[in-house]
Amino acid sequence: MTLKNFKNEREQRQELLFALHYRDSPTIIFIEYSSKAINKAISNEMDSFLKNNLKEYQFYDVDLTDFSVTSLLKILIEKLPENITNSKPVQYVVNVYGLEKSLLNNGDNNSLSQLASQLNLERELLFRKVPYIIIIWANKLFFQSLQRESPDLWSWVVYKFYFEELAINSDQILLDKLKDNDQNAWRQVYSENFNKVVNYLTRRNVSRSDAEEIFHETLLVLDKRKTTLTLTSKLSVFLIGVAIRINYNIWRKERDMQLHTSVLDDLDEDDIKFIEEVDANGFWEKDIEYQDIDEHFDYSTFEDKRKIIEELTKTYYKITNEKKSIDKTRYVIDRINILSLLANEYIEIREYYTAERIFEYAIGIANKNKKLTNSATLDYLTTSLKNLIRLQEKSIISKKPS
C-alpha cells in the first residue's frame, strides 16, 4: 500500500494546506511522489507552493541524499541551525529529502538499514520534542518499506499525501515566465497543448485549419490574462476550457444567437474537476470519441438545438416548394447548404445515423448537379461523411433506430 489515493492533486493540495495552516503543535507529514517526478527541481516547485500559501511559517530544506542516515533525529540536530532547533513551537517547516538511499544497506534490497527501526523508536521524540514541523519527501519504495518496518511510526502519522506530477506549480512557474515574455516558455506552452486542443476540436467536426486558428486565439486569450491569472488547476485545463468556449461562441455567432459566456471568464469548479479527471486518464492521446467532454461543456440546451433543427427543416421544405420560382443554381446550392447545417445539428445532439443519411442525400444532390456546384462543396460533404462514419464507429452512443 502506498500513499496514493483516488483524490485528485488539486484536492490533496487543499488538504495539505488545511493540515498545516496555523498549527499549535508540531507534526510529521509524508509526501510521496512518483518515480518520474523524483528530482529536486519538481520538489522545489511544490515547496514554492507551500511557501507562497503558508506565510505564517519559515521553511528550511535538508537534503540527506549524500548521507548514510541511521537516526533522523540525530542528523536533524546536526544539520539544522541552532535558531531552528531552539525555536518556539511551529515557527518552522523542515523539508527532508533524500532518505531513500539510507533505507537500504549497500544496495542490498533484502537488508534494511537501521533507519527504519530507529524511526520506529524515535517516533515520540520526533512528534513531541522537536519544535518544528517535519515533511518527509520520498518515493514509493521508501514508504512501502517504512509502512512494513516501522508500523508504529506509520500509525502515528495522520497526514499522508501523494503527488504524481506536482503540475500546478510547475505551470505557475511557466506562467511567470510568460509574464516576462520568455519565448522558450511560449514554445513550451505551444508544443505541450497544441495536439490536445486541436484533436478535441477536430473530433467536434471542426476543420483542421479552423481548429488551429482557435488554438491560436486561445493563446491570445492566455496572453491577455497572463498578468492576472492565478492557476487553480493545470495550465492545459485552462487552455482547453478557453478553446471550448471560443468554439461554442463561434457556433452561436453563426446562428445569430446571444453569446453564452466570455472566454475570459474563469472556469468553474465543475469544469476544472472534469477536465482534470479526463486529462488524468490520458484521454487526449487516445483515438476515441470525445463525447464526455462534449456533454459536459454543452452549454446550449437540447431544446435549443431541437428548435434549430425544426427551423432548418422548415426552411428546407420552403425552398423545395419554391423550386419553380427561383434560379436552379441557387435552388441546388441552398438545399445542399441547408442539409449540411441540418446534418451538423443532428451531430450536435448525437443522432449520428440521421446525420449520416442527410449527408448521403446532400452528396447525391451534388453528384447529380456537378455543373451547378464546385468540387470544394462535394469534397466538404464527402469528408464530413467520412468523419461522421469514423465518429460512429468509435462512439458508444450512436443512435441508430431499431
pLDDT at 198: 85
Backbone φ and ψ for 55, nearest 5 degrees, come out as: -70, -15
| Cα angle value 342/348/354 (rounded, 5°) | 55
Per-residue pLDDT band for 276 (boundaries 50, 70, 90) equals low
What are the residues facing 163 on neighbouring strands? 33
What are the residues facing 30 on neighbouring strands? 136, 160
| CA dihedral of residues 230, 5, 48, 71 (deg, nearest 10) | 170
Q: Of 167-171, 228-232, 372-376, where does mean pLDDT reach its minimum? A: 167-171
pLDDT value at 20 more than 80: yes
Question: Do residues 339 and 361 touch, judged by C-beta distance below 8 A?
Answer: yes
pLDDT value at 22 more than 60: yes
Q: What is the pLDDT of residues 78-122, one digit of tens each?
A: 999 999 999 999 999 999 988 888 876 544 444 456 888 899 899
The answer, as to whether pTM is greater than 0.85, is no
How far is the C-alpha of 98 from the C-alpha of 72, rounded, in Å?
A: 12
Question: Do residues 197 and 240 touch, judged by C-beta distance below 8 A?
Answer: yes
What structural domains and CATH numbers belong to the chain? 9-165 (3.40.50.300), 168-296 (no CATH), 302-394 (1.25.40)
Q: Which residues contact 53 (CB under 8 A, 6 or more apart)?
A: 17
pLDDT value at 319 more than 70: yes
Per-residue pLDDT band for 50 (boundaries 50, 70, 90) equals confident
pLDDT value at 222 more than 50: yes
Q: How many other β-carbons are positioned within 10 Å of the β-carbon of residue 294?
A: 16
Average pLDDT over residues 384-393: 74
How far is the C-alpha of 358 from the C-alpha of 13, rounded, in Å?
A: 50
pLDDT at 84: 95
SS3 149: helix
pLDDT at 330: 82
What is the grid cell recorded at 105? 544497506
What are the residues facing 28 on neighbouring strands? 134
pLDDT value at 43 more than 90: no
What number of residues does the chain have?
402
What 338-347 contacts at long range (C-beta under 8 Å, 24+ apart), as own/partner pairs, is: 338/312, 339/365, 340/380, 340/381, 340/384, 341/312, 342/309, 342/312, 342/313, 342/316, 343/384, 343/388, 344/205, 344/384, 345/305, 345/308, 345/309, 345/312, 346/309, 347/205, 347/388, 347/391
pLDDT at 71: 92
Percentage of the chain modeled with pLDDT above 70: 70
Average pLDDT over residues 67-83: 93
Better-scored residue on pLDDT, 74 or 391: 74
Q: Of 104-108, 241-245, 282-286, where does mean pLDDT reach its minimum? A: 282-286
